[in-house]
Chain A
Amino acid sequence: MTGPMQLLTLMVVLLLLATFGYRLGRNRALAAASGNPRLLHSLPSYHGYYVALWCGLPALLVIVGWLMLEPAILHGTVMTSLPAEMQSLPEERLALVYNEVRNVARHGHVPSTAVVGEAAQRYVSLRTTMFFSVAVASLAVAVAALAFAHRRIHTNMRARNRVEATVKVFLMASSMVAILTTIGIVLSLLFESLRFFQTVSLFDFLFGTQWSPQIAMRSDQVGSSGAFGAVPLFAGTLLISGIAMAVAVPLGLLSAIYMSEYAAPKFRSVVKPLLEVLAGIPTVVYGFFAALTVAPFIRDMGAHVGLSVASESALAAGLVMGIMIIPFVSSLSDDVISAVPQSLREGAYGLGATKSETIRQVVIPAALPGIVGSVLLAASRAIGETMIVVMAAGLAANLTANPLEAVTTVTTQIVTLLVGDQEFDSPKTLAAFALGLVLFTVTLALNVVALHIVNKYREKYD
């Protein structure tokens, strides 16, 4: 049997070999310089790393290549060896058969037919042979590369430059992972959205005012025609985000000013982390709070003054979301305000400005780009926020500017469209991707604008 354990053993052996290579390279470099490291171009340890990298990397590539090819080779060999009448089965049945073969081979299931049992045996033996040949091959490559690198060591070899170049490739590859993932997400959103726009026109989606994504499953079903006008969702998102920003920007900014300019350092060192705790509360907890405490409270208050308030109102969701994003505004603004150099404050004080004049006329203008950036980042956070609105804003796609009514948002609809058993080729589920694409575009644009503002107007203080 071969499995993760054997693979791990192989890796450990390779690692040991590389360590051995490190010592060999180091010692050879020292020997070449007759024990005097000053005669070497690079430090002895770089020669060691050079040999270790040569020893480890090519062998690792062999293993990775095998891991990628293995399933295809196994599948091809096992399937072609099946009896002819089985090979003529339709595609889906063949997939089922292969699945059973794998289960028998890997997890010891009892085969349903003798043919499957035989195939499973072939699967196992082939896999074992392949693993051992790959293990031997990779170790051979490792030893050969080690010998090759070891022979190349001499006093003038630029071992440091080569090791650093390799490290640079590693660093680049790591950063590529994040970038490629983002590109992958965008592409998947884009292609699914394109499929959606084959059934619903882009114009209807962006400018239609009717949102009712239920599609008739049977032709005699009533009331489920399906309308994909997303305007009510955009309006709801804007309404709730607007309320949230109206709460978060003044509160966050004022608390930032208080903390950075007025509060005693001791007070600040306690309160700032406390405020940041707000950002650490799971959004689902904010959701409870909005749905079970704030929304009923607002409804009852409304009833007192004779207003009819929906039990799931935009106001409740917006208020709670505003509280949630206070730390985004306050913490970032506090940082940029604190980063305004003391010399500017002294300049103002030296002219006889009072504390409040200094803050209003010198410190805040100097910190403004950073403050704008923090507000925009908070806005993009508000627009993308999901859990609070799912729990507290409701699902009714009302096109209204009244914060006391229930509205729905883009994120809420994405969740409802995709939750539960859905087919993945109906406009209903594909609509979620189109909404996701719009959301992504808007938040991306906000972030880009925020970063641009911060960079463009940042005063260069050193």
Chain B
Amino acid sequence: MNAIPVTQPSLSKVSARDVNVYYGQKHALKHVDLDIRPNDVTALIGPSGCGKSTFLRCINRMNDLIDNAQVTGLLTLDGDDVYDRNIDVVQLRARVGMVFQKPNPFPKSIYDNVAYGPRIHGMARDQAELDEIVMGSLEKAGLLAEVKDRLEETGTGLSGGQQQRLCIARAIAVAPEVILMDEPCSALDPIATAKVEELIDELRENFTIVIVTHSMQQAARVSQRTAFFHLGELVEVGDTEQIFTNPQHPLTQGYITGRFG
């Protein structure tokens, strides 16, 4: 590995150095340097169109799916260049799971939804092992008690909050190291949101979590680190408490106190 000026190498799981994203002519993300610590919840906040989702989608290379997107700079996961030509994007995405804004369970049974990832990656040697992974993931996602009697029913028949926890179970079934969450609660009601937030806090024990959110209360509640983006630039990053109580940059302060956004 080249000598990258990583501030705290031992402490960063994902690290970005001078990352730029272009959608065609549009410069969507500008010169972002950001370190994400393991077993932390890192919240990305900022007004709409500020580049926070774009940055999130760089980490598991979801931007590859967009035809005219171009990523430059260095982005590493455990020191490995994510955009290296030798990296298999399929394996990368097995290490970096993702939960989306709108719950998107597959039109399959609840069991098959969770078993999908382990199956395509050949993670289970036999049915018993697969059962174990599925049950364990549903358990960790706090969904097992609600669905254990109807694992064969279709996942799209669950309520919105249950669907989103099913998607989280589906993501952790692959045993990723990092879980990316793109506004995971924006389509949920307050009670379902509270459950998912509680879950995020529990998941921190085993996973590194990066969450994009529009709700500053949510960022304050669930995250340890917060990064504030504005117009494609990373304005400020720091411990959540410090960002919310003592922001260094006037833009951050303006956003947090609700003067714009």
Contact = CB atoms under 8 A, between A and B. Distances in A.
Given A346-B62, A347-B167, A365-B108, A352 B121 contact: yes
A362 B171 contact: no
Contacts, number: 68
Nearest to B88: A352
B62 A350 contact: yes
Given A349-B62, A352-B91, A352-B93, A343 B100 contact: yes
Interface string A337-353: 00001011111111111
Contact of B107 (A345, A349, A365): A365
B93 A350 contact: yes
Contact of A344 (B93, B104, B117): B104
Contacts of A347: 100, 104-106, 167, 170
Contacts of B108: 365
Given A349-B62, A351-B171, A361 B116 contact: yes
A70 interface: no
A366 interface: yes
A61 B259 CA distance: 68
A459 interface: yes
B94 interface: yes
B209 interface: no
A348 B106 CA distance: 8
A107 B156 CA distance: 72
Contacts of A354: 90, 120
Interface residues of B, number: 26
A150 B121 CA distance: 78
A357 interface: yes
B175 to A, nearest CB: 11
B226 interface: no
Contacts of A353: 90, 116, 120
Contacts of B174: 351-352
Contacts of B107: 344, 365-366, 459
Nearest to A341: B104
Nearest to A369: B107
A21 B222 CA distance: 70
A459 B156 contact: yes
Interface residues of A, number: 20
Contact of B120 (A352, A365, A366, A460): A352
Interface in B96-121: 97-98, 100, 102, 104-108, 116-117, 120-121
A362 B105 CA distance: 10
B60 interface: yes
Contacts of A341: 104
B1 interface: no
Given A346-B100, A351-B117, A366 B106 contact: yes
B87 to A, nearest CB: 12
B65 interface: yes
B104 A351 contact: no
B101 to A, nearest CB: 8
A353 B167 CA distance: 15
Classify the secondary structure of A's interface with B: helix
Interface in B191-205: none
A351 B94 contact: yes
B113 to A, nearest CB: 9
Contacts of B106: 344, 347-348, 361-362, 365-366
A451 B171 CA distance: 35
Nearest to A365: B107
Interface string A356-370: 010001100110000
A351 B156 contact: no
Contacts of B104: 341, 343-344, 346-347
A364 to B, nearest CB: 10
A350 B97 contact: yes
Contacts of B102: 343
Given A365-B107, A366-B106, A366-B107, A352 B90 contact: yes
A291 B89 CA distance: 53
B98 A350 contact: yes
Interface string B117-139: 10011000000000000000000
B171 A350 contact: yes
Interface in A60-80: none
23 contacts: A341-B104, A343-B100, A343-B104, A346-B65, A346-B98, A347-B100, A347-B104, A349-B93, A350-B60, A351-B94, A351-B98, A351-B116, A351-B117, A351-B170, A351-B171, A352-B90, A352-B94, A352-B117, A361-B106, A361-B120, A362-B106, A459-B107, A460-B156
Interface of B: 60, 62, 65, 90-94, 97-98, 100, 102, 104-108, 116-117, 120-121, 156, 167, 170-171, 174
Given A350-B100, A353-B120, 5 more contacts: A343-B100, A346-B98, A346-B104, A354-B120, A366-B106
